[in-house]
A and B are shown apart, each in its own frame.
Chain A
Amino acid sequence: MNERIDKLHSNLLKIGSIMAGLALWHILSDYILKDPTFLVSPVVVVRASYEMLFVTGELYPHLFASSWIFFYGFALAIVTGVPLGFLMALSPAVRDYVNPWMTTLYSTPRIAFAPILLLWFGIGGGAKVAIVFLGCLFPILINSYYGMRVVNREYVELARSFRLTSWALFMKILLPASVPFILAGIRLSIGRGLTSVAIAEWFGATEGLGYLVFFAGQTLNIPTLFVGVAAFAVLGILGFEIIRRVEAYATPWRKESQGG
């Protein structure tokens, strides 16, 4: 019972926070700044979103273009990063091979890679996917590696005492123990991936939310600019929510993942 009241309380606070933020924004734009080339009210943004979604429909091509680029780069990062992270954790040789590259690429600002990737892959989808891939890869790779490295030694001894085969040790102990870390890496990579989409589309794209925001900024189309930013935010929130559900489904044994 108390738990339900706590949850209700927490939800009310969240909604209150959003409402207060929007109100503040509205007051700032319409009553203090009063300069629509600088900041427009959330009411204007909502109206512009409505028009772009349901009247002109001009948001969809951008939304789809960005979503696909994000999805391809993100999925590629998962299918490469997770196994590579595992291999690094299980083989010191692989770790020593990959580590210097990982450290270098991870610590270099991704935006610096964008022009060279565009040069290599051209301004088609390939370069954009590559930029998103690079953005998503490292949190997934590092977390998969780390998750498997820090598996409780007791569990490994347990496997030994039950004479589990190496394969069973991997499948029954190492892999499930790493799942929360992998999911945390995937969650981190959503934000980085969307940033990468924006970066990729700023360089010589003709569609996509990044392009929309960039172009709107250049032409001082403030409402459209905010619609583009809001669309990114919605994608991010959607991605987080999906991962949260996957976490709750895949790791029901973790108390933390059961809350909100």
Chain B
Amino acid sequence: MAGSVLELRNLHKEIPRKDREPFTIFKNINLSLRDGEFVSVVGPSGCGKTTMLRVINGLMPRTSGDIFIDGKSSAELDHELVMGFVFQGASLLPWRTSLKNVLLGLEGRGANSNDAATIARKYLDLVGLSGFENHYPHELSGGMQQRVNLARALAVNPRILLMDEPFAALDAQTRNFMQLELLRIWAETKKTVIFVTHMIAEAILLSDRVIVFSHRPGTIRSEFQVPLERPRSMEMRADPRFLELENIVWKQIEAEVNAAGGFAKM
């Protein structure tokens, strides 16, 4: 599709196995994101959604298919930082302060260290952590750690933000606050986002579009435009359109789980 920021064409991932046919993680993934779009991927556990994110980022090789960023193949761009990855665990380096953690992606990228520090401060400020520059990760709460994680991914000014269940480890209340924070930050930075989550409500609240994955091997089962205006708010969770979509997506995931032999077998 012309004008898309990220395009996946027939993306396919399998893992070779000894003396058996390869294990297919996902197949036939065709997906196109326009500039500034927020797309969530939901699906049953083990459907390959996280693996897809890792393949897109080049953390794992793909078996076949193509990835294009602004029309260029991902192989061409391998040494450039076009994507920021927000890991599920904050994965902050414990020996680096917040500021130094955010600096990690900026170091050795040409910018002199003063400029880099200014940029890092700006993003810490954006995620609401000014004043915590010199704190070590163990001195921060789980929510604050995820804020640093987000600032670190944003600081390199990536074209695309890949987020792998970043709020999964947070308590329900902190998670709600972080969802609103993410919406605010997204509105300010205008990034194109793929957000993987197992929480349907989270996907709907945040996204322009929700992709539902089938059970293993993962394929795109369906996709929905979220019929809610922006800016979003927590009250929208009670909106009939929200509830209807949540219900439809849940039914689909339930059907996938049942087709796989039920939840107990997952």
Pick the contact of B136: A158, A161, A253 (CB < 8 A). A253
Pick the contact of B93: A161, A176, A251 (CB < 8 A). A176
Q: Are A163 and B138 in contact (CB-based, < 8 A)?
A: no
Residues in chain B near residue A158, CB distance under 8 A: 85, 87, 91, 93, 104
Q: Mark B147-177, 1 if CB is under 8 A from A, else 0.
A: 0000000001000000000000000000000
Pick the contact of A162: B89, B94, B138, B156 (CB < 8 A). B156
Residues in chain A near residue B156, CB distance under 8 A: 162
A165 contacts the other chain (Cβ, under 8 Å)? yes
Q: How far is the CB of B56 from chain A (nearest CB, A)?
A: 11
* Contacts A154-B91, A173-B93, A251-B95; A161 near B80 (Cβ below 8 A): no
Judged by DSSP, the binding face of B is loop
B105 contacts the other chain (Cβ, under 8 Å)? yes
Q: Mark A227-245, 1 if CB is under 8 A from B, else 0.
A: 0000000000000000000
Q: Mark A161-172, 1 if CB is under 8 A from B, else 0.
A: 111110010001
Residues in chain A near residue B54, CB distance under 8 A: 157
* Contacts A154-B87, A155-B93, A253-B94; A161 near B138 (Cβ below 8 A): no
Residues in chain B near residue A254, CB distance under 8 A: 94
Pick the contact of A163: B78, B89, B91, B136 (CB < 8 A). B78
Q: Are B94 and A163 in contact (CB-based, < 8 A)?
A: no
* Contacts A157-B87, A176-B93, A253-B95; A163 near B81 (Cβ below 8 A): yes
Q: How far is the CB of A201 from chain B (nearest CB, A)?
A: 40
Which residues of B (6-61) have their CB < 8 Å from a CB of A? 54, 57-59
B83 contacts the other chain (Cβ, under 8 Å)? yes
Best-buried of A158, A165, A177 by chain B (most CB within 10 Å): A158
Query: Is the interface on chain A under 10, 10 to 19, 20 to 34, or 35 or more residues?
Result: 20 to 34
User: Which residue of chain A has its CB nearest to the CB of B88?
Assistant: A154
Judged by DSSP, the binding face of A is helix
Complex: how many Å from CA A113 to CA B96?
43
Q: Are B87 and A168 in contact (CB-based, < 8 A)?
A: no
Q: How far is the CB of A160 from chain B (nearest CB, A)?
A: 6
A4 contacts the other chain (Cβ, under 8 Å)? no
B131 contacts the other chain (Cβ, under 8 Å)? no
A255 contacts the other chain (Cβ, under 8 Å)? yes
Complex: how many Å from CA A254 to CA B54?
30
* Contacts A155-B91, A155-B93, A253-B136; A161 near B107 (Cβ below 8 A): no
Residues in chain A near residue B89, CB distance under 8 A: 154
User: Which residue of chain A has its CB nearest to the CB of B138?
Assistant: A255
Complex: how many Å from CA A254 to CA B136?
9
Complex: how many Å from CA A253 to CA B89?
18
Pick the contact of B57: A161, A173, A177 (CB < 8 A). A161
A-B contact pairs, 10 of them (CB 8 A): A155-B93, A157-B54, A158-B85, A158-B93, A161-B58, A161-B84, A162-B104, A165-B108, A173-B93, A176-B95
List residues of chain A with CB under 8 Å of any chain B CB. 152, 154-155, 157-158, 160-165, 168, 172-173, 176-177, 179, 251-255
